[in-house]
Amino acid sequence: MEVEVFETKERVLADNDKAAADTRALMRGQRTLLINLMGSPGAGKTSVLSRVIPALSEYKIGVMEADVDSDVDARTVAALGARVIQLHTGGLCHMDADMTRRGLDRMGIEGLDAVFLENIGNLVCPAEFEIGADLRMTILSVPEGDDKPLKYPLMFTISDLVVVNKLDTAAIFDFDIDAFKSRVLALNPNAEIIAISAKTGDGCEELSAFLRALIEKRRRGE
């Protein structure tokens, strides 16, 4: 008698990819850009949003704040004038495509030019789950160290845009930006890398311009 082998993880990821593809089609149809914003706890995901959202004030922006618990960041982001919804994962370490879609449906994406999903602070799990984003944007902060692509390679492999934050502290933490860039590009030759300081504003114009170009493309239906 043959016994069926059920590859749980593969099946979960396959179902997830299907849900992600549905979301991708939805966003394209609505001409709304979806950005999966990832990074370690304290890398500065919310601080970067606090720079980028005012810089993109000509657009309507939505933010889904995913947290294990709390609504600290949602209150910060709501004060910027974005449409905001708080998502609680109930202890889960990442957002998946289905949870993301429920969040989008609940928040409502009508009239929005772009939606940021601020994922759980974690360099491991969110990298494994596609959510249907048009841009996978990962923030690595200088104090974390320039060796992190060696230790968390999947995150840097799947990221379209890597933002180096807290650049104003590079000297204090002996952060070698060239070594960091080489390590990212060795994993992912197509990665865009932009270094900024959300605190001083350095580099934030370049980052906003990069995002503006993507939003404009999406508005043209691309």
# residues near its own copies by CB under 8 A:
32
Q: How many other β-carbons are positioned within 10 Å of the β-carbon of residue 151?
A: 13
Q: Where are the beta strands (DSSP E) in 6-53?
A: 33-39
CA angle 193, 199, 200 (to 5 degrees): 85
Q: Which residue carries 């493309």 as its tokens?
A: 217
Residues within window 93-112 making contact with its own copies, judged by CB under 8 A: 93
Q: Which residue carries 């618990």 as its tokens?
A: 69
193: contact with its own copies by CB under 8 A: no
Q: Tokens for 28? A: 């394209």
Q: From residue 7, how far is each of 13, 93, 124, 202, 216 by CA, in Å?
A: 10, 21, 21, 47, 41
Do the beta carbons of residue 161 and residue 36 sit within 8 Å? no
Q: Looking at 19-27, 77-85, 102-110, 136-144, which segment touches its own copies (CB under 8 A)?
A: 136-144
54: contact with its own copies by CB under 8 A: no
Q: Looking at 10-18, 34-42, 52-60, 106-114, which segment touches its own copies (CB under 8 A)?
A: 34-42
Specify the residue, 42 or 54, whose C-beta has the smaller distance to its own copies.
Answer: 42
Contacting residue, 80, 85, 154, 214, with its own copies by CB under 8 A: 154
Specify the residue, 154 or 214, whose C-beta has the smaller distance to its own copies.
Answer: 154
29: contact with its own copies by CB under 8 A: no
Specify the residue, 166 or 218, whose C-beta has the smaller distance to its own copies.
Answer: 166
Q: Which helix (H) or strand (E) holds 74?
A: helix 72-78
186: contact with its own copies by CB under 8 A: no
Q: How far is the CB of 64 from its own copies (least distance, A)?
A: 15
